[in-house]
Structure 1
């Protein structure tokens, strides 16, 4: 019996980690590969209606074949886009969630050269509301866990600094569900195993 329970626990734990790894991202176009800028484009700006999945209060500036190599794929976004005189720059995407469940957000970010140590933005989603200060022009991977509050969650990136249109590169944005329910199941089996041993 102990071997059976141990095998079940191992199976549940393996399934938990596999489920987390196998989940497809809930974010559309997290690498900003669409629309494809083409081999000759450098930093084209698009109305947000032209960029799959994303909405913005300004144009969305895609970087390709220019400056820094993208973290993932061939393109990335500069948050501080060429706006139309607005006070801040922001991009966001709404996606389906289950209220009360937990999710993991990951993304890569980097400073644009020429304004070191003064590039930052806020990222928010559900219970998450975090300021990110960039400290290097090399890509850095960020990871946050948040709890969904409603059935639809808005992921938003919003500039804090600089005030000009030069800074805050973002790429490879992903959101996946946390495998918490499977983890709880594993803890339940562990408790069952302990209760059986105690009873004997």
Structure 2
């Protein structure tokens, strides 16, 4: 009887698990869409999912194993190419009022002081962390940052801005992620699942 109950409840559990699986809503969050040769960097004004929306810099760099390595994959970006730059990705399909988990990895540029490696992150124009900055070491020193953000109705904006000295040497960014928060199964939901199982057992016994 117990095995039959488990078999009956298994599809429900699988459906709940599939529903709860996190999906990264950021397009090209790891900056791998551009094929960049090993040891080469590209100065761009836009890539898939991202575009420059503020200067004085006119672009940002997509790097592949040059002056540091990526946190994940092959590519990462540096925001300050020929001056401080702000990049943006917009989201038009988020649920207004819903909470989302935002995460990304930051590293100062190799060998530079914190004054030139500052970076800011903004959600719908509001700063989430002030200036993120650190002194660079002998290699990229990746640190992960997490925030909970709330979506507004309509279009939502995620921006990263170079905030250090505007000198063509700046902050590195990789593995940006935005996922909807999935609530844990509530007590009433679990109780309801149990009652369904008991009802099924009684029907079988009758």
Structure 2 length normalisation: TM-score? 0.72
Q: Which residue of 2 aligns with 1:197?
A: none
Give the corresponding residue for 1:176. Answer: 179
Aligned to 1:198: none
1:68 maps to which residue? 68
Which residue in 1 is equivalent to 2:95?
98
TM-score (norm 1): 0.74
Q: Which residue of 1 aligns with 2:33?
A: 34
The answer to which of 51-60 and 132-141 deviates more is 132-141
Aligned to 1:78: 78
Q: Which runs of 5+ in 2 are unaligned?
A: 193-206
CA displacement at 1:115 relative to structure 2: 2.4
Separation in 1, partners of 2:126, 2:181:
15
Deviation at 1:167?
1.1
Structure 2 equivalent of residue 115 of structure 1? 112
Instruction: Tell me how far apart the structure 1 counterparts of residues 133 and 29 of structure 2 sit (CA, whole Å).
Output: 20
Q: Which has the larger radius of gyration?
A: 2
The superposition leaves residues 94-114 of structure 1 with CA deviations (integer Å, 9 ceiling, x where unpaired) of 112111000001110100023
Instruction: Write out the 4+ residue segments of structure 1 that deviate beyond 6 Å after TM superposition.
Output: none
In 2, the alpha carbon distance for the partners of 1:128 and 1:191 equals: 41
Alignment of 1:96-175 (within 5 A): 96-118=93-115, 119-126=117-124, 129-130=127-128, 131-137=130-136, 138-175=141-178
Classify 1:136/1:143 alpha carbon distance in 2 versus 1 (closer, same or farther; 3 Å): farther
**Matched-pair contact (CA < 8 Å) for 1:110–1:136:** no
Gaps (5+ residues) in structure 1?
Answer: 193-200
Query: In the TM superposition, what is the alpha-carbon distance from 1:129 to its structure 2 partner?
Result: 2.1
Q: 1:187 to 1:154 in 2, by over 3 A?
A: farther
